[in-house]
Amino acid sequence: MNLLTQTLLIAQSAADIEFEMARLQRNFQFLCYGLIVAWLILVVYVLMMVGRERKLKREIAGLKAMLEDRQRG
Amino acid sequence: MRDKVIYGLGALAILLLARDLYLIAGFPPERAQGMIFKIIFFHVPAAITAMIGSAVALVASVLFLITRKFKYDAVAVAVTEVGLAFLAANLITGSIWGRVIWGIWWTWDARLTSALVCWLLYAGYLMLRRAIEEPTQRATFAAVFSIFAFLDVPIVIFSIKWWRTQHPQPVFWGGGTFPHDWSVVMGWNLLALMLLGATMTMIRLRQEESQRELDSLRRMAHAL
């Protein structure tokens, strides 16, 4: 194998390694996006449920207090 | 007592999920797909959890129509809402996987389209409930709609068997190969997501009960 062929082979494999690393990086990036979005959906839903629960408790307490006031009056 | 069960289940689900994430992070990249294949550990369990949710909603809706007991209506709405969140997670993780592997975010193949239709049907179920004021009428219409919406679920599940789709063929029940240790982690993650779904459903169910209490208090306030 002459020097030129060896140089070409090295250059090609360096480019391949670079390409493969870029592919892996992109792959990993999208995996992170996927996991973040999936968990974000569930977290947002849980936060919505917490908000709804607080609102319900507040409304029930308010109505109970109002009914007690009316019954006393 | 019920609160303790809810918090216990939730804590167990989070512990299992943390453990599974640690195990999944340790798996080597798949030879053809690379790292992105790991999304399957969430994509598939999220879909199965959502499909189980729709089956529970079907049973609860049928039971409501037979017995006219509102507790079944509450179960149906709670499980549908939670299932919708899991189905959304499934659709979005699938779309991100598709962008890397196919080079496109979306394609109108039978599996993807039927899953999207399923999501839209159950979103329609929730919208229908908001549109009807009278509780008995709301529960009846919603139960009928839920039974109708469930017709799409077998189409979603079997679409990859019935038609040639861009979506991969089934791995676990179609002759695909999946290493044993990956299958074990997949099973644990499915259990974790199902526990999480059950916890969320129980919390949502408690809210439905609070909503009914609020409605009866409002009626009393009007009567006084």
Mean residue pLDDT of chain B comes to: 91
End-to-end CA distance of chain A: 105
**Do residue A60 and residue B207 have CB atoms under 8 angstroms apart?**
no
- Give B49-81 as a 3 state SS string: HHHHHHHHHHHHHHHHHHHCCHHHHHHHHHHHH
Q: State whether A34 and B200 contact (CB < 8 Å).
A: no
- Cβ within 8 Å, pair A37-B93: yes
Smallest CA–CA distance, residue A7 to chain B, in Å, is: 28
Q: Are B122 and B149 in contact (CB under 8 A)?
A: yes
Q: Which of B84, B214, B218 to mutate to test the interface with A (most CBs of A within 10 A)?
A: B214
Grade residue B133 by pLDDT with cuts at 50, 70 and 90: confident
Cβ burial, residue B4 (10 Å; 0-12/13-18/19+)? exposed
In whole angstroms, what is the distance from residue A45 CA to residue A40 CA? 8
Is residue A2 pLDDT above 70, yes or no?
no
Contacts of A34 in chain B (CB under 8 A): 36, 39, 42-43, 92-93, 96-97
| pLDDT tens-place string over residues B49-96 | 999 999 999 999 999 999 999 999 999 999 999 999 999 999 999 999
pLDDT tens per residue, range A51-60: 999 999 999 9
B contacts of A52 (beta carbons < 8 Å): 207
Q: Does A56 touch chain B (CB under 8 A)?
A: yes
Cα-based distances in Å from B181 to A54, B12, B16: 43, 21, 16
Q: CA–CA separation, B64 vs B62, rounded Å? A: 5
In chain B, the number of structural domains is: 1
Looking up residue B10, the CATH number of its domain turns out to be 1.20.120
Selecting from B34, B204, B217 the residue whose C-beta is nearest the C-beta of A49 gives: B204
Mean pLDDT of B190-203: 95
Structure tokens at B95: 């779309």
B58 is written with which tokens? 């079907």
Mean pLDDT value across residues B149-172: 88
The ipTM value here is 0.79
Give the percent of chain B with pLDDT over 70.
98
**Are the beta carbons of B143 and B64 closer than 8 angstroms?**
yes
Q: What is the pLDDT of residues A9-66, one digit of tens each?
A: 666 678 888 887 887 888 888 888 888 988 898 899 999 999 999 999 999 999 999 8
The predicted pLDDT at position B35 comes to 85
Q: CB contact, 8 Å: A55 with chain B?
A: no
DSSP summary character for residue B171: S
pLDDT grade for A70, boundaries at 50, 70 and 90 = confident
Q: Which H or E element spans position B151?
A: none
**CA-based torsion, B210, B211, B214, B215: positive or negative:** negative
User: Hey, are the CB atoms on B29 and A66 less than 8 Å from each other?
Assistant: no
* Residue B206: band (very low, low, confident or very high) from pLDDT cuts 50, 70, 90: very high
The whole-model pTM stands at: 0.87
Within B39-179, where are the H helices?
40-67, 70-101, 110-131, 135-150, 152-162
| Cα separation, B20 vs B26, whole angstroms | 10
- If you ran DSSP here, which 8-state letter would residue B34 be given? B
Q: Which domain holds residue B30?
A: 2-223
Q: Is the pLDDT of residue A1 over 70?
A: no
